A and B are shown apart, each in its own frame.
Chain A
Amino acid sequence: MTNILRRLMLFAALATIGMQASARAGQSIQPLQVDEIAPGIFVHIGVMELMTRDNEGAIANIGFVIGNDAVAVIDTGGSVREGKQLLASIRNLTEKPIRYVVNTHGHPDHIFGNAAFVDGGTIFVGNKNLPRGLATRAQFYLDGFRRTMGDELISEVSIIPPTELVDGELTLDLGGRSLLLRTWPVAHSDSDLTVLDPASGTLFGGDLVFLEHIPVVDGSIRGWLSTLDQLAKVPAQRVVPGHGPVSNWPAALADERRYLEKLAEDIRALIARGAPLAVAAQTAGASERSRWKLFDDYNARNATAVLSELEWE
């Protein structure tokens, strides 16, 4: 390699570092990359990683819907930084007011960006269980993610619980466009909520729907499996999953159903033969390993949660 080439590479490396540093310092908020997946519906696809300082928590799919009069944001991302970038993307497209921020559930990668949308006029909407869930979990989340994401990103985060609570169904009007919100029994979590745009047949599934990213059980596997049949009946053409690519509906549920059924089946067999928790965590669901990303990060934890649920059947 020539000296010149080496110097060029060094220069490029330094330039990259410099750009990252200035973005971190918040000198200018770069809009988040969003795709218009249907008229007026924009989605940012999160990276398939755990939340870190480097990815700024931007691991979940988040998006927004533009009506004639107003905008609704559906999940705000894993940091205020990401929330502000989403806001910048919206403002690149429209000056209409953001009437609603809808949270599909209470996990940090979906709600840590809420604070970017507090302007006095925006109404935060969520499952009736969400305020309680955030009350008991938020401090734990903030402490935990401070370790992996660092002080700078986490100190900006403030927990904004919903004030408009949904128990069953609720319609949000954006002017010439209505969104149908629906809550579900305890499944992925105890505060799951989906958003349907009937005009385009687009469903925001939140973390009730995982593709490619291993499903995470933080509610009830029995509840989740029994919810899937009802969920599949939602009249949509496509789904924006909580994690993974935008996909055809309801075919998108097949992989997740297979994983959850296999995990439940394995755990029930382990319980029946009296296998201890430590063994169950290492063996249940192993046949699914090659089919999912982040399997080693979540499968044993899922197995632990599922065993502590199903051993009471």
Chain B
Amino acid sequence: MARAIVRLLCLVTLVAATQLTPGLSSAATPEPYDPWPGLVQDLFNNRAMEDGAGLVAIDMPYRAEDAAIVPVTLRITLPAGDSRHVSAITLVVDQNPAPIAARFELGADSGISSISTRVRVNNYTDVHAVAELSDGRLYVVKTYVKASGGCSAPAAKNIDEAKNKIGQMRFRQFARTDAGLDNGAREAQIMIRHPNNSGLQMDQLTHLYIPAFFVNELRVWQDDKPLLSMEGGISISEDPNIRFTFVPKDAKRFRVEAKDTDGHLFQGEWPAETSAM
């Protein structure tokens, strides 16, 4: 409460200052409100963040084709000499109604080098990725995306089918043959059928919002070792789709568990494939 008041006061002071500065208020187009400083305060308790360039990267199209399904890839690019590992990455879509799209936790020796998913983008926005390293330090990188309306975009193109198939899961495994990945890295993809309603899609006739209903927890194990987990928000697109590159540890099987906000539990188990699919 006190913090909110302080922020409000700051805002009032800022507005006053702007109006008192001749030339600034009339000529210059005001910069759109930047929520990031507030988000650092609210989401990360104002912890110090260093520039993550060279350690992590975000790949996202500058202009999204479909604001409800915008592909994003988080890449870990720690230099070879750096003995630390990334323990968590938080993906923040600054201008979205609920800015935290997902927080990923990476298994300690998972060797995860990239995580891709698909998000909704509601407005032209900065997108930040905050990586927490094993020494507890935070590193941030950002990109900018032009898209709008993704959170309120209509759900399912095929509503009846979506209802029938909720909770269906797929797990795909790929060999990575890219240059530079000679460490036996493999790629896995988890797909879950779920409308992931954002709670911002309005029923025009009743003028009621369709309640938020989304996958908020996902965990992947390699045998009994945690490989990757995700806390998801409403910014994750319908039919959540997570894909990641990792170094397998001779595991025999993968286990996936997902929960949604209505308490449904979805589970699946798949044998590890050793050759290219």
**Partner-B contacts on A (CB < 8 A):** 129, 131-140, 143-144, 147, 159, 161, 186, 189-190, 218-220, 223, 274, 276-278, 281, 300-301, 303-305, 308-309, 311-312
Contacts and interface: CB of A to CB of B under 8 A. Distances in A.
B225 interface: no
A-side binding surface: helix, strand, loop or mixed? Answer: helix
Nearest to B176: A274
B152 A139 contact: yes
15 contacts: A134-B204, A136-B202, A137-B154, A140-B152, A140-B153, A140-B201, A143-B149, A274-B187, A277-B241, A278-B61, A281-B65, A281-B71, A305-B69, A308-B238, A312-B165
A220 B201 CA distance: 21
Contact of B148 (A147, A161, A190): A147
Q: Which 7 A-B pairs have the closest CB atoms?
A: A138-B204, A300-B65, A278-B71, A137-B154, A274-B174, A277-B71, A139-B202
Contacts of A220: 157-158, 161
B149 A144 contact: yes
B197 to A, nearest CB: 10
A291 to B, nearest CB: 20
A96 B205 CA distance: 31
Contact of B154 (A140, A223, A303): A140
Contacts of A309: 157-158
B26 interface: no
Nearest to B206: A135
B128 interface: no
B149 A276 contact: no
Contacts of A161: 205
A311 B153 CA distance: 21
A301 B191 CA distance: 20
Interface in B121-180: 148-149, 152-155, 157-161, 165, 168, 170, 172, 174
Contacts of A276: 71, 73, 116, 243
A136 B154 contact: yes
A309 B157 CA distance: 10
Contacts, number: 96
B158 A186 contact: yes
B151 to A, nearest CB: 10
Nearest to B155: A136
Contacts of B73: 276, 278
B31 interface: no
Interface string B210-229: 10000000000000000000
B66 interface: yes
B157 A305 contact: yes
Interface residues of B, number: 41
Nearest to A220: B158
B82 interface: no
A186 B165 CA distance: 16
B259 interface: no
Interface of B: 59, 61, 65-66, 69, 71, 73, 116, 118, 148-149, 152-155, 157-161, 165, 168, 170, 172, 174, 187, 189, 191, 193, 201-206, 210, 238-239, 241, 243, 277
Contacts of B239: 308, 312
B58 to A, nearest CB: 12
B148 A277 contact: no
Contacts of A308: 69, 238-239
Contacts of A138: 204
Q: Which of A129, A186, A218, A278 has the most CB of B within 10 A?
A: A278
B268 to A, nearest CB: 15
A243 to B, nearest CB: 19
Contacts of A311: 170, 191, 241
Contacts of B174: 274
Contact of B157 (A219, A277, A281, A312): A219
Contact of A139 (B172, B204, B277): B204
Contacts of A218: 157
A140 B152 CA distance: 6
A136 B203 contact: yes
A278 B59 contact: yes
B66 A190 contact: no
A219 B158 contact: yes
Contacts of A137: 154, 204
A136 to B, nearest CB: 5
B69 A190 contact: no
A123 B204 CA distance: 20
A203 B172 CA distance: 45
Contact of A190 (B149, B152, B159, B187): B159
B159 A312 contact: no
Contacts of A223: 158
Contacts of B157: 186, 189-190, 218-220, 305, 309
Contacts of A189: 157
Contacts of A186: 157-158, 160-161
Contacts of A159: 204
A108 to B, nearest CB: 12
A131 B116 contact: no
Contacts of A274: 172, 174, 187, 189, 277
